[in-house]
Structure 1
Amino acid sequence: MEQTTLEDALSADEITAANELTRRWLTARAEVPAVASGLGIWPLLAVLATGAVEATLEELLEAAGIDIGQAAAVPAALLDAVRSAPALSLALAAWAGPEVTLDPDWIAGLPGDAVGALTGDPSIDKPVLDEWASRNTGGLIDRMPVDLNAPIELLLASALSVRTKWRTPFQEDYGPFQSGPWKGRGKVLRASYREEVLRVGPDAAVLTVPGDDDIDVLLATGREDAAPQEVMSALIDAAADARWGSPASAPAPSLGVTFHEYQASTPQTAPETNAVVPAFRLDTDLDLLEDAAVLGLELASDDEFAQFDRLAAQRLYISQAKQACTAVFSATGFEAAAVTAFGMAFLGAAPPQLIHKHRCAEVTFNRPFAYLARHRPSGLILIAGWVNDPVE
């Protein structure tokens, strides 16, 4: 039986909605995170919406960019389609405490055997939840990013991972950058391409690094005076539109792109690009309630006005919303993961204390830049972030 692909499972409008959530979230933050996943949040908003009513429901649907019918269908469709993408893994799950009576219709809408149990004892629950996070990210993230010492009656979580090998591996220079803001820092990687991988727009130059199994990683360097949010937005535009910008063979040198000419024994038959990038390993822990307005969680996290009447017999609100992410860009490939968790407590419970934590173009990423990983056939953005300081 032929498996459903992502581009078949999700409509173009749904893919756009998921990508636009990523754009709104990352560009609304005071600082763009080093690594984050809007896609890790998107299906959880849909799951929450199916249990919400009235204003809470409207706020969640508006943030997710879908209607209630799509909210009921998207999580299962997304999980099913990811099985056809060898580079991707996605899991969704819920764990309920002994005092919560979940709505049978809400449970029926969850994919497969997604519901587990919480005992309320962190010494028992934490190893189980941490093992789930590790198993569903291939060991990239080994913990569930919530405080189990605070009251949690229901926990919703997603685990996303992506792994790809470069079609054209990089060569390691084993030395730092020799110029630019990162002079003397970073591990330099170099690769040469004989295909159109570099596009230049008015505010950014975007390099597409093709990986195996339908994964691309896109890097964007912008004007020196451009805010990270502007560069990220330009990168998402470029990821969504193959017509964005101009081929690097056309424009004049700009935005980190230089040109040189050399002689060879054979004619040039394809665009040529040399890429100089840093290896990086980045980790972040994000408190999503800091972004409640853009993520549609303001009412959902209000311990007086949250309305989840179709989720459980008891009144619940989101008391914690966290995401732990990691991304590794190396000479041979890219791997990243995100675990997103929404902890729900009874209304009226004390809120937890939250912790805020030929003619050849050459493009050089020797200063802060934006990046994202996408599923090539569908255009779905999986992971994105801002490299402020490469660590390898």
Structure 2
Amino acid sequence: MSDTKAQFRPENHPNDHFIMTTVVGSYPKPKWLNRAKALYEDDDVDFDDGDWQEAKDDAARVITDEHQRAGLDVVVDGEMRRNEMVEYFAHRIDGYEFNGPVKVWGHNYFDKPSVVDDVAYDERWLVEEYEFTASVADRPVKVPITGPYTLASWSFNEAYDDDASLAYDLADLVNQEIEKLVDAGARYIQIDEPALATTPDDHAIVGEAIERIVADVPDDVRIGLHVCYGDYSRIYPEILEFPVDEFDLELANGDYEQLDVFEDPAFTADLALGVTDAHVAEVESVEQIERNIEKGLEVVPPDQLVVSPDCGVKLLPRDVAYGKLENMVTAARNVEAKLDDGDVDVRGRTASPADD
């Protein structure tokens, strides 16, 4: 696997070591964006397509700037244009249709789509989103995209013999979208596969799907895989065979109880470690996040470590989400400085060829 991380190091980075800071994807929407959506959906209000587009652009600009003010090395627009991680894409893929919301937990509903015909690529999904964010950002932009296994598993399958066949066809569509994103300039793409954690025995299906996704993707494009919650021991070390540069894992929420899963065999990819809990509406102290970052150094050396929140933070109060990011960046810079001074015990080892 080629080193794709160095290209994201800022020119004026203050430390010799570099622990890249980023986010998983989603971020709390400004309250006025939700009000603008209600106006757009109200037939009795003069709020047209142009007004709605302007509102989304403004929100994307505001949140991208918020990520930059927090100091992140790689930013996202907080997915301001997206509603839900499956529904958003299903609306843009031929072969899907919607028949109404499904209750998933508590009082929460999910507009679960149905696959009623062979899926096909109909329109670009994220290129315009990426181009706008890149135009207003002064640093690299990451593009999160829902993976084919989750798009298949979290839909009603009424057209394919099995979910694997559906996932493979969807993977070919994701590959088409990534080609367009790369042509537009994207160099950091994250595949989100939360469904893998709920059905870990299907890791081989996910691996095959990712092989299709990254076919012909240039070597300088960084590909990450985000898998949140679940029993990681059921997919490790098999996931090391996946052709990705980094694995983004949720571990802070479980107080790093599963950290030792990744110690043997050696972690051969980059580890994007969750170091703030996306499920707790309290801002962790800088000192606590430093300790969490140092947990990652028990698994990988500094050049393989990336830090982010555990998962998307869209359900948190916005000030809490920002505070977590700001403290996370400060903590990462502090750990880098301690590494420069030799004050951190690094137990993570670089994998040797014998480990592969």
TM-score, structure 2 normalization = 0.26
Relative to total residues, which structure has the larger strand share, 1 or 2? 1
**Structure with the larger RCO, 1 or 2 (CA within 8 Å, 6+ apart):** 1
Q: Rg larger in 1 or in 2?
A: 1
TM-score, structure 1 normalization = 0.25
